[in-house]
Structure 1
């Protein structure tokens, strides 16, 4: 992306909810360095290989659930606006359906949940899955849309 810019003058990088709480200040400094010293940072990182955490997560047996399972994948619904709205929609559905559904939030702030996102192939945060199928990604469903998707999963 930086290579497509004509220059960095007046460029503003505004971290938002995709920069979770308590991120080391060094990360923000590294991003600024990448913006202003792109070539040297590219050279520095050319042989970098990310260490893959070997965390095993067990996925539910989606084919044999007793009731619909709504899984909400968020950065963190306490700090990310879009994630708050997605989780709010799920909480409203839980109020409507009560014990007829199960619901869980997986926050990207936990390593186990990062591994779960990878294993599930979660494309965007926030995303909502019902019975292991991606139903809503990035865009928060209306009450009617979400309730309709849950009802369809009950059949």
Structure 2
């Protein structure tokens, strides 16, 4: 009934003054992936959203297919990079239409490999190591008794 996440203040102010562009988050993807830019959850407080426009804000230049629709597509190159896309929506408010916009960041990166564990060992290697430790301890104990 209360707590963090109940109200998005920035989205509320935007919605009170014009339409809110709402984009489905994407996050990190593998380079060379085709991604979907989805702004179909965008809303207008009064009236309807009459236009959508996707643009690229930063990153290596890519082509946006269906850039004037709520759902657009991008095929990312095979090299790692960070991309930022903006969706601008326009409502049918009279006497003057209003706009709202939001951005989404996409990171194209290869998965990080674990790097391995430093080599292969077996049960026999572990037993041999413990036998060596016990032999060293026994030898030190024996040396102390003799002195």
| Common topology (TM > 0.5) | no
Report the TM-score when normalising by structure 1.
0.21
Query: Which structure carries more helix by proportion?
Result: 1
Query: Which structure carries more strand by proportion?
Result: 2
